[in-house]
Chain A
Amino acid sequence: MPLTYPNLTLIPIPGAIPAWKGLIEPEQLLPVCLKVAEGGGRLVALWGSDERQNAGGFALQVALVTEAGLICLCVALEEAQPVYPNLSLIFPAALRMQRAAQDLLGIVATDSPDKRKWLRHGAWHGFPLRKDYAVAPIDEADAYPFVRVEGNGVHEIPVGPVHAGTIEPGHFRFSIVGERVLRLEERLGYTHKGIEKRFEQLSLQQGAKLAGRIAGDSSVAYAWAYAMAAESIAQLTPSAHSLWLRALLLERERIANHLGDLGYLGNDVAFTFGFSQFWILKEQLLRNNAAVFGHRYLMDLIIPGGVAVELSKSSILYDECTLLEKQVKLLRGIYEEHAGMQDRFIGAGLVAPKLAAQLGLCGMAGRASAQAWDARVQFACAPYDQLDVQMATHRNGDVAARVIVRFDELFESLRLQREILNHLTTGSTVPLLKLPGNGFGIGMVEGWRGEILVAIHTDREGNVARVHPHDPSWQNWPVLEHAVLDNIVPDFPLINKSFNLSYTGQDL
């Protein structure tokens, strides 16, 4: 049992990762969260659901993680007054999630220190995640009250939503003196695509395709977490063969992203050699993906029940491991010995371990700030339970540390890829087409950015009634606002890239 608290009954949720669920009263929420936080636990995700056709009213769902496993708390909210206590004093990361839940479902955190909208700009009305929502586009002036920094010589630089590089849209408001950043305020939500509502219109299998397109760079991680959630409801364990293949795909996604970002980190300090070299390697990997799996980004290969692919030519992948190990080792040597580069990396975008723990920094960036947490290690589900993943961590919390962690993880993923290839067996998949009624399932996968969680609720007939995908960028975006403080504006692109957070994954 991950937690004991008076009058709180936790029921195990079947599935690949250790998880429990429990119903609690609104007044119990804060003390329970406090207890979890004091024990070193974190908030993973927060979302709401419309229960008016079921038990009545609305529900708030809070997913917390402890050493023992995930705890999913459900708080019933009255229809007339759907309110719950603000969690952001215990878990600062809750704030934006609460604002999003208010925008999408109209459930309100009382005493929230920030009452501004988050995912809703001035383009639609009402609460889309309510079951009786009728599409209501509007076009209202979209004035967002940014926090202003006053003082002698302070001025603002507004950036975005359309950025100077080939990146996703979002708005950054810098308050600066000279070149020094006094404050950064992010405003996101520009790519909000109504993904959660869209899931409710799709079958379980179609939903798997959509899950793979919440964030194209994390397609495998989302598709696996979605399948894991569905399999948790159906109490089904996919064949060993499909689990090994899923792990192979997930590690390949990690390798591809780390290669690409390491190249861009070179580019951002004007070392274009790094970009050319790493992107030749990345291209090689993507071409191998196309040759072996039929898709450069491995989309649509994981389905509820198993996988939709057979592995045919694995010798290509062994050769790839050899090539990448050799080349990345060489490039790492060049990066580490390049004085100009290290000068830009060291000390930039610092997040000290204590701050990281307070704010709940997670995933790869968290590990570079001594937050030793990796779902492949703590909750090693099959096949990771046989792989003994070596977690990469660092204490410095700057760009240099994030670069080191990426290199370490890259080598570890190459080692894992070899191991997995040695273990691959043949097998088949029986697609999961229908889920039992009134189910609740959860899946969590360590994507390359961090932990990706997907929760699925089914209605009485077993249709998908609510899907909540959660990206680690929710936790990490607010930390970026701290990481850039006191840095100079020209270092922002570098610091930003060292995190490389998802816009679409948090805009939904």
Chain B
Amino acid sequence: MYPIIKQIIRTGIVTEAAPLADEAMRLQPQRLQEEILRLLGSALCIRHVDAGSCNGCELEIHSVNNAHYNIEGLGIKFVASPRHADMLLVTGPVSRHMATALRRTYDATPEPKLVVAIGDCSRDGGIFCAGGAENYAILGGVAEVIPVDVLVTGCPPTPTAILQGILTAISRQASFSP
């Protein structure tokens, strides 16, 4: 026990300040009311869905749980079932084999729900069908299957960008000029 406590004390607190929301990541105007956002902002539950990624994006989703980014310290946690979730975090180009599972996961998530797409692949299929190339196994980006609120680009996006995307989705929209 003693070496564990000693190591914990020696490590100290490494958590860094969270990034600010970034309006540029928004694909859809904020749909949720302020009151709901306030509630979500203090206890947000996320369900992650890998819709066909290369696992690179998952590595960075793991990283947002590490002590440096400490997503749980912000009141945000990953949950085991979509039925407990307020938000879906979706990675990957959507493979045809995952389309049904993704749709069902979305349907199982109670309203109001938010969707944040993670990674270049989640935008348009990324390298797996870049340049509009037809790929028999891939449907394309996440928005081909379910509505997306916020998109975080990068291959893979950094943990800071992922955190920023999540925070953008639950932030009040700064100013909206259509």
Mark A residues whose CB is within 8 Å of B.
121, 123-124, 128, 133, 135-137, 142, 161-162, 164-169, 189-195, 197-198, 201, 209-210, 213-217, 219, 260, 273, 276-277, 279-280, 282-283, 286, 296-297, 299, 330-331, 333-334, 337, 502-504
Contact = CB atoms under 8 A, between A and B. Distances in A.
B28 interface: no
B167 to A, nearest CB: 18
B50 A191 contact: yes
A424 B59 CA distance: 29
Interface string B2-34: 011001100100100000000000000000000
Contacts of A210: 127-128
Nearest to B52: A191
A330 B8 CA distance: 12
B137 A216 contact: no
A297 B136 CA distance: 28
B97 A121 contact: yes
Interface stretch (B36-44, B88-96, B142-150, B168-176): B88-96
B131 to A, nearest CB: 9
A214 B66 contact: no
Point out which of B58, B68, B95, B138 has the most chain A C-beta atoms below 10 A from its C-beta: B95
A190 B127 contact: no
A52 B136 CA distance: 21
Contact of A162 (B49, B97, B138): B49
A309 to B, nearest CB: 17
Contact of A216 (B4, B59, B99, B105): B59
Contacts of A279: 62-63, 65-67
B155 interface: yes
Where chain B touches its partner, the secondary structure class is mixed
A195 B126 CA distance: 12
B50 to A, nearest CB: 5
A280 B14 contact: yes
A133 B80 CA distance: 40
Contact of A190 (B60, B95, B156): B95
11 contacts: A123-B97, A123-B99, A135-B136, A164-B80, A194-B137, A201-B133, A213-B155, A216-B57, A216-B58, A217-B56, A286-B63
B76 interface: no
A503 B66 CA distance: 23
Contact of B62 (A135, A260, A333): A260
B55 A168 contact: yes
Point out which of A193, A197, A297 has the most chain B C-beta atoms below 10 A from its C-beta: A193
B128 A195 contact: yes
A169 B102 CA distance: 11
Given A124-B136, A128-B137, A297-B156, A334 B3 contact: yes
Contacts of A161: 98, 101
A504 B48 contact: no
A169 B58 contact: no
A83 B52 CA distance: 31
Given A135-B136, A213-B56, 7 more contacts: A123-B97, A136-B136, A190-B98, A191-B52, A193-B95, A194-B128, A198-B129
B56 A299 contact: yes
Contacts of A137: 96, 136
Contacts of A133: 136
